Amino acid sequence: MRTRPLKVALLGCGVVGSEVARIMTTHADDLAARIGAPVELAGVAVRRPDKVRGGVDPALITTDATALVKRGDIDVVVEVIGGIEPARTLITTAFEHGASVVSANKALLAQDGATLYAAAGQHGQDLYYEAAVAGAIPLIRPLRESLAGDKINRVMGIVNGTTNFILDKMDSTGAGYQEALDEATALGYAEADPTADVEGFDAAAKAAILAGIAFHTRVRLDDVYREGMTEVTAADFASARQMGCTIKLLAICERAADGGSVTARVHPAMIPLSHPLASVREAYNAVFVEAEAAGRLMFYGPGAGGAPTASAVLGDVVAVCRNRLNEATGPGESAYTQLPVSPMGDVVTRYHISLDVADKPGVLAQVATVFAEHGVSIDTVRQQGKDGEASLVVVTHRAADAALSGTVEALRKLDTVRGVASIMRVEGE
């Protein structure tokens, strides 16, 4: 074993960073044995140096992150501060000064991953980011390495624990959205401002990363269709149960049937109770991968939290340190297919549409005619009426999003349609 330690700089010492520091200290001997050399925490950059950080030597604390990554003796920089800047500049500076980088920064990777890859390649360094997508769940490395010889056609999953907890509580207890959100906040699953989670921004960033790796093409955050889950109601869950389904906020990345394009989207969807993702409860994550040769694979586990995320970070640190000892680098960006990302209007799926209509003869015929005129085939129809008002639930066969949008606009113009109560996609069939 080499006696000179590999030096690690840690950017950020919050929930995840403090766990990274703790594991590096308490499992130092095991990490050294697995890597083939000791690993030393050489510096920790923070914004508030006076905050007490148990288990971290105060002598390692600095507020000058730039000076830390420029030191020249750093082998690996671990970036867990998040956000776009200064993280992007710090990472590229680390590459320029001879350090590889392990990051958990999904937002930056989704928005500007190509720049980071280019900088890493230019300076012969590694860029690893297992913790950016699904916490402790090994997902990035299987996609980049284990399935590198296969063709992935679809990646569909629950990649945000906060939204899954909320939807699970709405389903299992009958709670409303706000009640379930309040419980998630009280338990620490939801931030004081939950917008990034409940409006799908967090999941969209992860979808961009997954699509890029799975399909060997560049997919940016702006390419991902995003729809939050704040409008999901108890009535939607009641409708889902009648169909033998539940509702999940899904990240879905697909290769077109002809192989000429890809799509990436995040939105609530009904999925059959028989689908493996339907049984993912509480704040857990799960990702379902469909590959040509390997078939269907599912990755499941805790998708967030200090210790689980730190586990993924340290796995990357071990891999990067091994590469440095062998004077090698791991896989870089694979974007050789250069496939275009199709707009949401081209996506084909099933739909569940709930309409408030007048309870009188001929309404169903009018509605059916509108669907037919827009080329959307109806699978089932359910109608309930009382005192002149009725609820009409239509489930379609597979149709393009653009065709469904045109259908709904036409339905809104019918005198007999009082309103569109909800529209939800049906996935996993």
Distance CA 60, CA 317 (A): 19
Distances (CA, A) of 406 to 200, 368, 376, 411: 24, 14, 10, 9
Say whether 233 sits in a helix, a strand or coil. coil
Q: Pick left, alpha or beta for residue 246 (phi over 0 → left; psi -120 to 50 → alpha; otherwise beta).
A: beta
Rg (CA), the chain: 24
CA dihedral 101, 106, 107, 112 (to 10 degrees): 50
Nearest-CA neighbor of 68 among 140, 23, 76? Answer: 76
Is 169 annotated as catalytic? no
Beta bridge partners of 291: 152, 295
**Distance separating alpha carbons of residues 251 and 203, to the nearest angstrom:** 6
Please name the residue ranges forming H helices in 63-194.
65-69, 87-96, 106-122, 131-134, 140-141, 161-173, 177-186
DSSP letter at 276? G
Q: How many CB atoms lie within 10 A of CB 282?
A: 13
Is residue 169 within 8 A of residue 158, CB to CB? The reply is no
Q: Which of 7, 106, 169, 206 is catalytic?
A: 206
Bridge partner residues of 251 (DSSP): 157, 266
Largest CA distance in the chain: 85
Phi, psi values for residue 11, rounded to 5°? -100, 105
Strand, coil or helix: what is 199?
coil
Query: Residue 92: CB partners within 8 Å, gap ≥ 6?
Result: 115, 116, 119
The residues that are catalytic are: 206
